[in-house]
Structure 1
């Protein structure tokens, strides 16, 4: 792996130097010419052609003017001054190779310097007054331009004080061209949103949903178009993001985005100034964000700037709507799972209020769609971890969720904006399950529990047999028994966030944002079981309980500044402090502590980011973060750099390198899936290391009026990976499904064939300000993720959409797995192909999405391999899809390839004077493909062995499937 890394690094450096050296010859243009009584126009044309500069002027301005000048080794600026001296003509060098000539005023002397002004302004929605962040502003006919900040403000220094045209574009809006006037320095630019024309006309173009950026790894997303895509009941932003190349779409869950091979906790999810730590509803079926309350989404898949930190994979930066500034608006909507409502109120003091909420109504009535989703949830491994699906008789599943967004924004002056944004989301899950069947079990034992525990074991004689032994007296004797098990699982989880923000435009070149964010995540699990074991002699009744609590508090203060020094130089800098407090406790029977960890820590960070354009076609961004982490009292320096080089107006080359650190971890448990049971903690730098990663990215973008092609190759290293590998169900009893596993957020699988048992790691304290932890439960290691993302997008016309392809190689290395060599983990998806198609015809929107991906890996218990090879375990090829006999150490057996087609049709209509609405019908998994979510294995005993010999058994496979054919109907009204 080191060879691959070194090769990639050398290639990256070579391209960087090549790009930097390409325009060196133009950085110091020296002019030497002898003009003797020739027309000024001819002299200007000679300079333009010979020295490769563009000179714009009105031909009447230079008519009948002749010059006689001898120029020797002068710069372009000095040469033009000499040529135009004595004539009423001034000039402005817009860029080093672009010159604009203009007529001087009567009061302007011939020796006056070029006339330029600094302009600034804001970009807003013409219908609602919403300020539009990250809109593109370009001076038409030049390469000069800028981007609005999060509050829709922009600045362009040293613009010619003459008539120029500003081209303003924003995803989902019609592009505007604004003609400026001399001495005009302030602008309010209003854009019209692109909406479906509800008339009998041909739609020439529709709003884009995705816009790749020339910046490395960045994409802009338009939430307004989410409703036209197929969905499972909600306009889901994370499910839409999964259609982008590089973001996994084959796991059918939005509980966490897997971006370029990284785990979900390595993504920074940032919403209106605060972090969101739990991002799903309904155990991953829906994301926790209401699309109706979102204005803009910026996705950074890697190589993100120094402004962002604290994560090693990617950033999802979400900006919430502020509410309509002009008219009150109300919207309602619903589907077969939940209902939603949004209210926008403007006030006279130049302020606005937005309230948006969603709630499931399964507690009132259950639809077929809800029942399908609830059944899917009840078969997840976090719930069904002991028996095969065929043994289960579900008694009942109840899932409820809600979320609420409230945002108040006030603009007391033209230069200030204050806002407070509140988010609250919560889920409640209750599943009651019953398992019945015959099984081979050891006698139950107390496993060291004392009488103060909540576990109750009662033994009575079997009326059809003799009295049985007391629990734990014969632990080595297995017995045939009838089993009746009733399990009750309750899980509550949610996230609350509050963001306060003050944005201030100090002058046309300096803008500041001060933010204070509070976020609290919690997850509470309570489980209980009553188990009746009936053997030939006795009836055992066992009552047990389990609980798990995780509370995370985040308080962050940050001060961000943007200083536009010149037209080709912008400096961003700031400081932030983040305080985290995390509590985690896992109990069995209210007395056995499997894990208890309480820890708090603070990060203090300074950052700077310098964007400079040394040449008109090259932009370089260089920055760094310096973080002090008080838990281990260490400093962490994270430099970063990127470039964008315009080879032509259509073709751009881009690249990035950076170092990233992460000071908070979500520990993946081995027996439970992604959502809820995984717990957050702070690293101490010792037993739980700080995660760090190096990113190397190289790519290019080619754009025409109709199409965009974007390609990025990446390589990133990962150090400090942590997995939790302790199984509480094994501490109580080795069940028949011991060792089963699915995909999701599980730790890396042991290699086929097992290997020597790992040596016990040393025990140590947690360090920092946390309680001691049992390091025997943790595996630490490293990883490598490398690959290519390709996007081909059609962005205009009645038909729009894109094709996406992702290639990814993911490798992990842990000292106690696969003899310490790299191996492919189960979460790796090497190939994924996606297509998104949208067609707009008058009032109708049609859409279809398709995904095809490599099947995810899964885990086979190492003991099975040993027994298969010694002949004590038989494999039925009709029941087991994996040819386990041919697997080698380090191999990862895979599920069958995943593929799915979704379709939707939406009808848009008007009602009343202001009302608009839509009615949508969508189908998830149109052809009902039986994609496998995970598999588990159960050993069926076929023959008891002689004393000292192993029993003979048969290995049987059980499949848990993804969602099948799922139709949905939804509507939306807005007035």
Structure 2
């Protein structure tokens, strides 16, 4: 009840605040009062003679105007001159003849947000770019201007001043001729949209706010979408429509990422400063994406235009981050981003809560008895990531991109004990590293014809050494991936109705697994390599002003080592039934050759226990999926309602790939899973508020060869999931409060409460049928808030706070049973979710 009352009070506050602050001024106001408001909003200082300002009373300028536009607005209505130098503005009167003022304007999108880096061209060679506030100026002699920005319809207009001699207001609309025509501009949050091809777009620069997030973390944000969950609240175990994490394809600028998380899954490995555009597909994936039987997440930090330089420096309670965009010339830019945790030096509450969550029931906290070690004295952990991107425009038609990425997690810990004669200490470590590079060339031959060629290479390595105190045993384990290839694609508009997309892709991947033990001596070194060719063709049907969008494609794959040739058809269809109703049908066949397995639960210190392996077309088969979905959406007057029904079946999975911790843990069997369900979303926007509720139901069953029963629930089945949020955005203030509830995942209980013994007298657990029970339901409330100040005209300060698990609810997210060797009985081991975890952000941008 207390939580309900708090929620209602907060909602009432939002409602009255929106009405109190959201009203436009309807009467004239003294100039001094207007200047005081501008001073507080933009953190500038005015210098003027009292006689020059006194006596002026005018209608205030609109609140959303950029600072320079407001000054011109005031100058036109008072006859005063405003001269800005840095954060100081001098006001004076003059009777001298003035030079013609340049034409000023500012560019906004359809939601009233400024559009930065829009290109304004006013003759054959001269261009200017809008700032972060969307403002620009051009000479008065200009007759017409051309405005363009990626994702928007270009605008051509005469360069004429309005009657009031104020700045022009230019509105850009989303480009309807592009592939990703939107169905919903704001889907769950500002900056997230749903497209007609069934995919979702996330634009971090436009990102609003979501409960528990203070930065645009794509891997956390995608878990808010219906049908996407994480059974253990990590970004390294994201489950899309019942699939495992390795069945998702994660790409950054054409590089496949085999590592997606820091802190072994609690933090995204991708800096929120990076991406310009993120595309997520749950079904109906383009034929240009392979190597996944579940979703595809394509992250691009490649802008179409050379934008203005910018720098941001920030930090949260885990570590600092840095981002810079530098222009060495008018036709080139360099982008650099970097993060490095200070967790090996400082231990804020956020770090302590993360440590307690991620290291429980692992070797770090003693796998045998689940007791926590002293984190400060026995363990040192840190992570870092960096990216560097170079963009060069060559003439008006060609772009060249070069990108580099690095991701690293590093853990060192010491175990110690005191014997009768001495003190024994053992040092263990775990490192997880990703390095990747890519280069691409893109040509826009004409409005309806473009070509792209790119090559890439990546290296992934997880390396662990465990020195055991109890047995004087040293275990070394390593999992290494080398992935390289190249891609070619071409898009040509055949006629006003059809566009043909074609391409070719080549990929070579090698995966090595190594294990070494000193006592008893054991060594294993296995390396597998696969080379794959893919030919792609897609035909897109999009007549102008038509209700129908359709795209059909086929991907023909050939794996050299298996001599295997097979085709994967894809389909996306969207039809406008009426003005506010749309029907969507998606279908696909996909495959993947690389997957993750768990050989022993204690591998890699029990933390990163999954290792990548390649299909051998025998014990580890090629995974193949079939999926179809049909949905309908309604959008009108701030309401958005969507309903999707789906069916998916994946063949070629193994018991090792499902990480069982029961009687199937040591069983080697092949099989499949089948999942079907419904996803529902209702969303309403009113004034500065919007709220949404999503519900997902699914039925997910396994079937393995030789395993009884024939069908049983999947370990990744969450039968019912409900997400809710109430979000308030007013000016630079953003507040979000939301909750997440889902039914407990399936687990396998013991058949009897005492051990059974084999012929040698060894005790073991006698289990019931696999996944015949469920954990308790999961419930969590999350909160976040942020505010941005414009300190100077080009300097912004952002502050943010978030709290995960506001009510500190103790949720069990995993449970398994084992023999207690000291008591010779069966004990239960629970893994608990994250406790109440605060975080804070400060970021300076200029």
Sort the Cα spacing of 1:125 and 1:665 in 2 relative to 1 into closer, same or farther, 3 A: farther
Does the CA contact (< 8 Å) of 1:273 and 1:501 recur in 2?
no
SS at match of 1:369: helix
Does the CA contact (< 8 Å) of 2:749 and 2:768 recur in 1?
no
Aligned counterparts of 1:402 and 1:233: Cα–Cα separation in 2: 19
Q: Which residue of 2 aligns with 1:901?
A: 781
Matched, 1:933 2:813: yes
From 442, 457, 462, give the equivalent of 1:518: 457
From 614, 626, 631, give the equivalent of 1:682: 614
Sort the Cα spacing of 1:317 and 1:382 in 2 relative to 1 into closer, same or farther, 3 A: farther
Aligned counterparts of 1:647 and 1:179: Cα–Cα separation in 2: 33
RMSD: 3.8
Q: Which residue of 1 aligns with 2:24?
A: none
Sort the Cα spacing of 1:696 and 1:914 in 2 relative to 1 into closer, same or farther, 3 A: same
Q: Which residue of 1 aligns with 2:485?
A: 556
Aligned counterparts of 2:693 and 2:602: Cα–Cα separation in 1: 34
User: What does 1:3-14 align with in structure 2 at a 5 Å threshold?
Assistant: none
Q: Which residue of 2 aligns with 1:354?
A: 335
Q: Which residue of 2 aligns with 1:857?
A: 746
Aligned counterparts of 2:188 and 2:479: Cα–Cα separation in 1: 45
Q: Which residue of 1 aligns with 2:802?
A: 922
Does the CA contact (< 8 Å) of 1:396 and 1:433 recur in 2?
yes
Matched, 1:747 2:747: no
Please list every run of 5 or more consecutive structure 2 residues that lacks an aligned counterpart in the other structure.
1-109, 121-145, 159-169, 175-185
Q: Which residue of 1 aligns with 2:413?
A: 431
Once the 2 structures are TM-superposed, how far is the Cα of residue 347 of structure 1 from its aligned partner?
3.1
Once the 2 structures are TM-superposed, how far is the Cα of residue 518 of structure 1 from its aligned partner?
1.1
Matched, 1:288 2:269: yes
Q: Which residue of 2 aligns with 1:297?
A: 278
Does the CA contact (< 8 Å) of 1:555 and 1:579 recur in 2?
yes
Once the 2 structures are TM-superposed, how far is the Cα of residue 256 of structure 1 from its aligned partner?
3.1
Sort the Cα spacing of 1:391 and 1:371 in 2 relative to 1 into closer, same or farther, 3 A: closer
Once the 2 structures are TM-superposed, how far is the Cα of residue 383 of structure 1 from its aligned partner?
4.3
From 623, 634, 641, give the equivalent of 1:709: 641
Q: Which residue of 1 aligns with 2:654?
A: 722
Once the 2 structures are TM-superposed, how far is the Cα of residue 257 of structure 1 from its aligned partner?
1.7
Structure-2-length-normalised TM-score: 0.74
Aligned counterparts of 1:804 and 1:852: Cα–Cα separation in 2: 11
Aligned counterparts of 2:668 and 2:417: Cα–Cα separation in 1: 32
Does the CA contact (< 8 Å) of 2:398 and 2:441 recur in 1?
yes
Q: Which residue of 1 aligns with 2:117?
A: 128
Sort the Cα spacing of 1:486 and 1:852 in 2 relative to 1 into closer, same or farther, 3 A: farther
From 665, 672, 675, give the equivalent of 1:782: 672
Does the CA contact (< 8 Å) of 2:442 and 2:450 recur in 1?
yes
Sort the Cα spacing of 1:843 and 1:592 in 2 relative to 1 into closer, same or farther, 3 A: same
Sort the Cα spacing of 1:190 and 1:549 in 2 relative to 1 into closer, same or farther, 3 A: farther
Q: Which residue of 2 aligns with 1:363?
A: 344
From 815, 832, 837, give the equivalent of 1:966: 837
Aligned counterparts of 1:225 and 1:672: Cα–Cα separation in 2: 42
Aligned counterparts of 1:130 and 1:787: Cα–Cα separation in 2: 45
Once the 2 structures are TM-superposed, how far is the Cα of residue 280 of structure 1 from its aligned partner?
0.5
Q: Which residue of 2 aligns with 1:403?
A: 385
Q: Which residue of 1 aligns with 2:589?
A: 659
Q: Which residue of 2 aligns with 1:134?
A: none
From 697, 706, 720, give the equivalent of 1:831: 720
User: What does 1:569-968 align with in structure 2 at a 5 Å threshold?
Assistant: 569-589=498-518, 592-593=521-522, 595-613=524-542, 616-672=546-602, 676-724=608-656, 746-747=659-660, 749-750=662-663, 778-794=668-684, 797-819=687-709, 821-860=710-749, 867=756, 889-937=769-817, 939=819, 954-968=825-839
Deviations 1:407-447 (A, max 9, x none): 111111111111111111111012335689xxxxxxxxxxx
Aligned counterparts of 2:238 and 2:402: Cα–Cα separation in 1: 27
Once the 2 structures are TM-superposed, how far is the Cα of residue 389 of structure 1 from its aligned partner?
2.1
Aligned counterparts of 1:867 and 1:213: Cα–Cα separation in 2: 56
Does the CA contact (< 8 Å) of 2:231 and 2:813 recur in 1?
no
Sort the Cα spacing of 1:669 and 1:856 in 2 relative to 1 into closer, same or farther, 3 A: farther
Once the 2 structures are TM-superposed, how far is the Cα of residue 310 of structure 1 from its aligned partner?
1.7
User: What does 1:250-329 align with in structure 2 at a 5 Å threshold?
Assistant: 250-322=231-303, 325-329=306-310
Once the 2 structures are TM-superposed, how far is the Cα of residue 363 of structure 1 from its aligned partner?
2.4
SS at match of 2:713: coil
User: What does 1:468-507 align with in structure 2 at a 5 Å threshold?
Assistant: 488-507=427-446
Does the CA contact (< 8 Å) of 1:656 and 1:696 recur in 2?
yes
Once the 2 structures are TM-superposed, how far is the Cα of residue 843 of structure 1 from its aligned partner?
3.6
Sort the Cα spacing of 1:588 and 1:611 in 2 relative to 1 into closer, same or farther, 3 A: same
Aligned counterparts of 2:276 and 2:381: Cα–Cα separation in 1: 29
SS at match of 2:227: coil
Structure-1-length-normalised TM-score: 0.64
Sort the Cα spacing of 1:326 and 1:300 in 2 relative to 1 into closer, same or farther, 3 A: closer
